[in-house]
Structure 1
Amino acid sequence: MYIDSHQHFWFFDPIRDSWITTEMSVIQKNFLPEDLKPILDENGIGGCVAVQASQSDSETTFLLQQAEANEFIKGVVGWIDLKDKDLYDQLDRLTQFEKLKGFRHVVQGEPDGFMLDTQFVKGVRALAAFDFSYDILIYPHQLQEAFEFARQLPEVRMVVDHIAKPYIKKGEVDAWAEGMVQLASLPNVSCKVSGMVTEADWTAWKPSDFTPYLDVVFEAFGPDRLMFGSDWPVCLVAASYKEMKQVLDQYLASFENTDREKIMGGNAAKFYRLELA
């Protein structure tokens, strides 16, 4: 089964969702499972992982409700205050939700050093006790910090979202590539091939723009630690779901079928412990 390892749902709130600017007006509206299901069907995707888009306990509850009501949502990556003194008890309570697979914090919006805070590291370490994973959302300048963070936590399954958002529109590769190769040296870290179109020129990108970046992550992580993700509906500011997926389809055209199957679903199912039956 092909799995979209990274997408979002929301009832649009202009205050909470202020990151969705006027130039992103195409996604200034509600996006719910009934909007995504026909798109997944059209593109041959059998299931998805819903990832938090706002940082609140209510966001996790909302996503779990959507997953409970929709069989095609195979997993949820929620949000929790990883510095909370009662974190362990909260995680213990949350284990009752079978589709809750991991957590994410929007580190890209945090100051330098956030990931290395002792309490944050301790909180992420606690995830391993409950077999939860952690999604790393960062910008390229945070790659060194992410490496130092992940190196302390070999017991935690981690995945880098959106190939760490390289500056594709500017064509900058080298510094980002160095950081990604270093992060990929840690065996507990995987990477989502997602979010690329929104880092390119939204109105003038072409598939070849992504090749240098794909070359780096495929060489660094290999076919066993990469997973397809759409970042729908955010991707819609730059491309349709089909156009976005075609970039990866074209890149994978020469790959062995077994490797394509891993990248397009098998790795996500394994990483997130998804129940696909």
Structure 2
Amino acid sequence: MNDRSDFDKRLPLNRRQAIGAIAGGVAAASMTSPVDAADQSSLVVDSHLHCFAGPEDARFPYHERAPYRPGQPATPEFLLERMDGAGVDHAIVVHPEPYQDDHRYLEHCIDIGNGRLKGTCLFFSDQPKSLERLPQFLRQHEDHIVATRLHAYAPGRLPPWGSPELDRLWAIATDAGVAMQVHLEPRYAARLDPYLRRYKETRVIIDHLGRPMQGTPEEHAVVLGWSELPNTVMKLAAIPPQDKYPHRDVAPVIARLAELWGAERLIYGGGFNANTTDASYREYRQKIAAMLPNFSDEDRKKVLGGNAAKLFGFDA
């Protein structure tokens, strides 16, 4: 294509499809119910789930620094069964913190997925040996790893702000053409802001709505400001239950995110865990579709799969 953006031109050839900008005009379509739109999507991509081998599988032990240790397995085999039953074509396995920077189980999941699954990795800029291994890992898995994740979430799970090592993490992601996936509490958004603005060539995926219920509206406003950066993508995932503290209605938040990021820069994720059924997995997707009443059917299809397929390099 002759009209690729400068960002796309600088990416290695095998990354252009996977991390290329999500583009295209908003298609006009007759409105049906959000539930119908969810079920009729031509391609569905779950952009956020975790897999766990469980404590009984000695091949894949939890790390000694694991902040939590799930007691039930949620295996890739179980995931693929639920994907088939719920109409999910592809998924991103987000490498979870219980394994820290030991990625053997993520590699296992990708192998079992046989092209249907890709993953995000987790390396730590405050651990020199961890950071040193990241470039080689990304080269080794250049067709299967789409992002490296950065936690700014609760004391003890924070990056080394202002350090050369944290800049090095962003630079490695930029050079490799993978996205930076940020999982944050809004109170840390102001400290992340300079990195998003400095690394304008790095695709940034914002996890879980930017966690609006775990900060004040003023703190979350910093996250909303990132919508002006064309390299950011907002993930509609981890929809907070309304019957738990702080009992704030999430619908206006999602409406605002949809307004700011638009149909071309939203992706969805979630609904899978050790207890997922085919019905519950599909219902989660339908719930998100129902929270986008102002979107056309075609717009919802973008959010439920089309955008992620372009972003992560899945075949339509």
TM-score by length of 1: 0.81
Distance 2:282 2:232 in 1: 28
1:3 to 45, 56, 73: 45
Q: Between the two proteins, what is the percent identity of the paired residues?
A: 21
Matched, 1:40 2:83: yes
Match of 1:164 in 2: 210
Candidates 86, 101, 104, aligned match of 1:57: 101
Rounded to whole Å, the distance in 1 between the matches of 2:266 and 2:52 is 26
Residue in 2 that maps onto 1:24:
none
Task: Return the letter of the residue paired with 2:267.
Answer: M
Q: Tell me how far apart the structure 2 counterparts of residues 91 and 235 of structure 1 sit (CA, whole Å).
A: 35
Residue number among 212, 219, 222 corresponding to 1:179 in the alignment? 222
Whole-Å separation in 1 of the counterparts to 2:210 and 2:130: 30
- Residue 224 of structure 1 aligns to a residue whose secondary structure is helix
Question: Aligned in 2, Cα 1:235/1:210: closer, same or farther, shift over 3 Å?
Answer: farther
Q: When the two structures are aligned, how many residues end up with a matched partner?
A: 261
Measured on the aligned residues, the alpha-carbon RMSD in Å equals: 3.2
Question: Contact 2:258 / 2:292 at 8 angstroms: preserved in 1?
Answer: no
Matched, 1:96 2:140: yes
| Inter-partner Cα distance in structure 1 for 2:117 and 2:287 | 24
Give 2:16's aligned residue: none
User: Which stretch shifts more, 139-148 or 105-114?
Assistant: 105-114
1:29 maps to 72
**Alpha carbons 2:90, 2:314 under 8 Å: kept:** no
Q: Residue type of the partner of 2:243? A: D
- Is the alpha carbon distance of 1:217 and 1:130 closer, same or farther for their aligned partners in structure 2, counting shifts above 3 Å? same
**d(CA) in 1 for partners of 2:275, 2:164:** 34
Equivalent pair of 1:80/1:103 in contact (CA under 8 Å):
yes
Q: Give the gaps of 5 or more residues in structure 2.
A: 1-42, 56-61
1:85 CA drift (Å): 7.0
1:80 correspondence with 2:80: no
Q: Which aligned pairs between 1:13-28 and structure 2 lie closer than 5 A?
A: 13=55, 18-19=67-68, 28=71
Cα distance between partner residues in 2 of 1:235 and 1:219: 33
> CA offset at residue 276 of structure 1?
2.3
Pair 1:176–1:196, CA change in 2 (3 A): farther
Greater relative CO (CA pairs within 8 A, separation 6+): 2
Report the AA paired with residue 265 of structure 1. Answer: G
> For residues 137 and 234 of structure 1, do their structure 2 counterparts lie closer, same or farther at Cα, with a shift above 3 Å needed?
farther
**CA-CA distance at 1:161 after TM superposition:** 0.4
User: In terms of Rg, which structure is larger?
Assistant: 2
Tell me how far apart the structure 2 counterparts of residues 89 and 35 of structure 1 sit (CA, whole Å).
30
